[in-house]
Amino acid sequence: MSDLQASLIDALQQAVAAAVAAALGDEHAGTDPLLRPSKDTKFGDFQANLAMSLGKKLGKPPRQLADMIAQQLQPGDLLSKVEVAGPGFINLTVSAQALNRATAVMLKSERLAVPLIQAAGTAVIDYGSPNCAKEMHIGHLRSSIIGDAISRVLEFRGERVIRQNHLGDWGTQFGMLLELLLEQGWSSSGEGSSIHDLDELYRQAKQKFDADAGFAERARMRVVKLQAGDEPSLKLWQSLINESARHMNEVFRLLGVRLTDKDIRPESFYNSRLPQVVEALRATGALVESEGAQVVFPNGFKDREGEPLPMIVQKSDGGFGYAATDLAAARFRVGELQAKRVIYVVDARQSDHFAMLFTVLNSVGWTNGAEFEHVAFGTILGADKKPFKTRAGGTVRLIEVLEEATKRAATVSGEKLEGASDAERAELSRAVGVSAVKYADLSSDRIKDYVFDWDRMLALEGNTAPYLQNAYVRIRSIFRKGEVSMEQLDPAMINIEAPEERMLAVHLSLLSATLDQVATSLEPHRLCGYLYELASLYHRFYEHCPVLKAETAVKQSRLALSALTGRVLALGLELLGISVIERM
Ligand code: ARG
């Protein structure tokens, strides 16, 4: 690949690898150069930190190795300066022409120079996946929006993404609910009952289930009947599902989550495949009987007493559980959907379940060469650091959160917007409010818990949605004021000079590498961090480098840099599922 096509970071990587090979021998050429953008231009634009790791490996002073490598990195077309500092950092300054070229290539490219991945495979992403018959609550937020962001990133990189909403429509919760309703004389249709009613009925059913052993038994038998195709059970069940799905789709629409009816492949879908799963497992010899149930003991899993932990495939009453359905779903995904990657975006509290599932799939040879990944995430906490609840201690309804976000955002957005209609203001508040909630979630380290904090998520400063949206708005306003179109700039005019321009351009060049990292780690917060840094660097650039007031050539170059920043921000927000707004 010529430098012209390779991204700046690829070109640097190749140059360092070649220098390592020349200095230390070909066998070391593959060493990760550990390239990082420098915090300050006085240390160049990038640092290559591989001398430290090589030093350990080869038992030589890193400084000496750094000098040897640096000697092979002659200034030229790509680099203007190479220096060794401290214990062995190699500071690289990119030549003006290379930086200008890399920036121009991005500006010219519709995809902002992010290559489509070669030999893309199919990724199945299981997200959203609520248990229905319950109203959507705060506990459903994370899977929905993290999964959505991941889907968008993989899709943009050219992977074939199949979204799957593994709707919980088939388990014990339905046994309880149906049993209660049928005993109360409900017949085939729960029509007219809203999700809100169902939520309340479900609470009653659960109470009765916990208090009344007879009811609990009947509820369990109800599941077995339902799964066996009992007509009255099925009919009532269907009407409950319809109402749940209607509500769920509405919430996804408000959230801007791209899950629709066609992505729903609920637990019940796998019902007819469950007996086959049992038979196929039996054939592998992995299935054993334990206390009347059909189970598998995945290697290495123990309960608290140190006894082998079973994964229950078929209960003693003949019913199938969560695990059986997941076995069937896994087979379907790698078999019929041809997935090369199966991604489950589910709460960290289910980590054991997925670890066991993947172990079983591997041990019986059912992965079909696909990679299985559990994308786990932490819990949303209240100010008291306990799982987020309403003041009264109840579950926080998702619809309510979105309404409150919209209301609170009215003070951040649109207040001073001249000539805006009430409808526009309302639309804007919604975009800012919902985005703030989503971004606060996506930007926190995925695996950790985080505290739900209205003031922080709506702040105009800091790593927040309003800050990023505002950065984009500011760029748009420059173009409005200057009466220039963001699309009509000449890449040939780009000429990076000031340190603030350099740092911005260097950071822009990292877009593709950042998306690579997100696609590998499945951590959207890395993209948030990148965008936040980008907005901050743009802010700094804007303070030090006049744009519209500069003389023509400089103005053209700075406009081009601004346009590129705006497009990268817009793309990044879009991939996170955050609304890009024109004014606020
Ligand atoms: N419905 C489940 C729950 O609410 C999540 C399903 C996740 N996906 C899966 N294939 N198990 O806990």
Q: What is the pLDDT of residues 116-175, one digit of tens each?
A: 998 889 999 999 999 988 899 999 999 999 999 999 999 999 999 999 999 999 888 889
Report the alpha-carbon distance of residue 518 to residue 526 in Å, rounded: 6
Asked if residues 577 and 257 have their Cβ atoms less than 8 Å apart, the reply is yes
Determine how many CB atoms are found less than 10 A away from the CB of residue 116.
10
What amino acid occupies position 66?
A
Report the alpha-carbon distance of residue 89 to residue 286 in Å, rounded: 53
So what's the pLDDT on residue 415? 61
Confidence category of residue 190, pLDDT binned at 50, 70, 90: low
Considering only residues 186 and 391, tell me which one the structure prediction assigns the higher pLDDT.
Answer: 391
Mean pLDDT of 81-97: 96
Which residue's C-alpha comes closest to atom 11 of ligand 1? 326
Asked whether 346 lines ligand 1 (CB < 6 A), one says: yes
* DSSP secondary structure letter of residue 395: P
pLDDT at 193 over 80: no
| pLDDT tens-digit readout, 531-557 | 999 999 999 999 999 999 999 999 999
Confidence category of residue 408, pLDDT binned at 50, 70, 90: very high
What amino acid occupies position 167?
L
Confidence category of residue 3, pLDDT binned at 50, 70, 90: very low
The dihedral sign for the CA sequence 463, 424, 398, 160: negative
The token pair that represents 53 in the structure block:
């790791």
Query: Residue 345 Cα, ligand 1 centroid: separation in angstroms?
Result: 9
Nearest to 361 by CA among 309, 302, 284, 303: 284
Query: Residue 515 Cα, ligand 1 centroid: separation in angstroms?
Result: 27
| pLDDT tens-digit readout, 464-519 | 999 999 999 999 999 999 999 998 899 999 999 999 999 999 999 999 999 999 99
- H or E segment and range at residue 48: strand 46-48
Confidence category of residue 45, pLDDT binned at 50, 70, 90: very high
pLDDT at 188 over 80: no
Full-model pTM? 0.94
So what's the pLDDT on residue 132? 86
Which residue's C-alpha comes closest to atom 6 of ligand 1? 129
Asked whether 329 lines ligand 1 (CB < 6 A), one says: yes
Strands 371-375 and 341-345 turn out to be parallel
So what's the pLDDT on residue 440? 98
pLDDT at 4 over 80: no
The token pair that represents 90 in the structure block:
């190699």
So what's the pLDDT on residue 192? 61
> What value does the CA radius of gyration of the chain take, rounded to a whole number of Å?
28
552-576 vs 524-544: helix axis angle to the nearest 10?
A: 160
Asked if residues 467 and 535 have their Cβ atoms less than 8 Å apart, the reply is yes
Asked whether 566 lines ligand 1 (CB < 6 A), one says: no
Considering only residues 254 and 318, tell me which one the structure prediction assigns the higher pLDDT.
Answer: 254
Asked if residues 528 and 442 have their Cβ atoms less than 8 Å apart, the reply is yes
The token pair that represents 313 in the structure block:
């495939």
So what's the pLDDT on residue 158? 96
pLDDT > 70 fraction of the chain, expressed in percent and rounded: 97
Determine the atom of ligand 1 nearest the C-alpha atom of 354.
Answer: 11
- The residues with which 380 forms a beta bridge, in sequence order, are 450
So what's the pLDDT on residue 185? 84
pLDDT at 296 over 90: yes
Nearest to 182 by CA among 131, 243, 230: 230
Helix, coil or strand: residue 485:
coil
Q: What average pLDDT does the structure give for the chain?
A: 94
Which residue's C-alpha comes closest to atom 5 of ligand 1? 129
Helix, coil or strand: residue 131:
strand
So what's the pLDDT on residue 101? 95
Asked whether 534 lines ligand 1 (CB < 6 A), one says: no
Asked whether 128 lines ligand 1 (CB < 6 A), one says: no
Q: Largest alpha-carbon pair distance within the chain?
A: 86
Q: How would you label 204-222 residue by residue, b for 16+ Cβ within 10 Å and e otherwise?
A: ebbebbeeeeebbebbbeb
Place of tokens 């209960």: 315
Asked whether 358 lines ligand 1 (CB < 6 A), one says: no
Place of tokens 């640097």: 12
Query: Residue 266 Cα, ligand 1 centroid: separation in angstroms?
Result: 10
Helix, coil or strand: residue 563:
helix
Confidence category of residue 7, pLDDT binned at 50, 70, 90: confident
